[in-house]
Amino acid sequence: MDEELIGIHGLEEKRMLLETIRPQYIILKPTLLGGIRSSEEWIDTAENLGIGWWITSALESNIGLNAIAQFTATKKVKMPQGLGTGQLYHNNIESPLTIEKGQLYYRKEKKWDQNI
């Protein structure tokens, strides 16, 4: 299940939907689901029902992608996730995220321009 999750906000509604359909996986796009807290609810509900989950990004700027990437990192997932690269936009802010060999990394040594 993917975009079928959009617009389902109540915890009980989430549980009923997953219990009824029993998908193998749900695909979470935090920006479209109501944010981090709503995504947490989906994850907790899915795990309680033995349903797998996968986090992906929609069309976020580097700011949104950074937030989703950090949220995903807190989950200590072992399976690759579907995060975008933030390189779609021409007017995007510079990002501390880098892609190396298909993996997204946070570059800590980034020196930000103080004139921004």
Token pair of 93 as six digits: 């802010």
Q: Does residue 112 belong to any structural domain of this protein?
A: no
pLDDT of res. 84: 65
Q: Does residue 115 belong to any structural domain of this protein?
A: no
Domain tally, the chain? 1
Q: Does residue 18 belong to any structural domain of this protein?
A: yes
Q: What's the rounded Cα separation, in Å, for the pair 38 and 44?
A: 10
Contact 66, 95 (CB under 8 A): yes
pLDDT of res. 97: 67
pLDDT of res. 114: 45
What is the phi/psi pair of residue 13, to 5°? -60, -40
Q: Does residue 23 belong to any structural domain of this protein?
A: yes
Other C-beta atoms within 10 Å of 106: how many? 13
Contact 16, 42 (CB under 8 A): no
Q: What's the rounded Cα separation, in Å, for the pair 13 and 17?
A: 6
Q: Does residue 116 belong to any structural domain of this protein?
A: no
Token pair of 76 as six digits: 């200590």
pLDDT of res. 74: 87
Q: Does residue 111 belong to any structural domain of this protein?
A: no
Return the amino acid letter for 57: S
The residue range of the domain holding 79 is: 3-106
* Tens digit of pLDDT at every position of the chain (116 positions): 888 999 999 999 999 999 999 999 999 999 899 999 999 999 999 999 999 999 888 777 777 787 888 888 888 887 777 776 555 656 666 766 666 776 666 676 655 454 43
Give the CATH number, domain containing residue 63.
3.20.20.120
Q: Does residue 35 belong to any structural domain of this protein?
A: yes
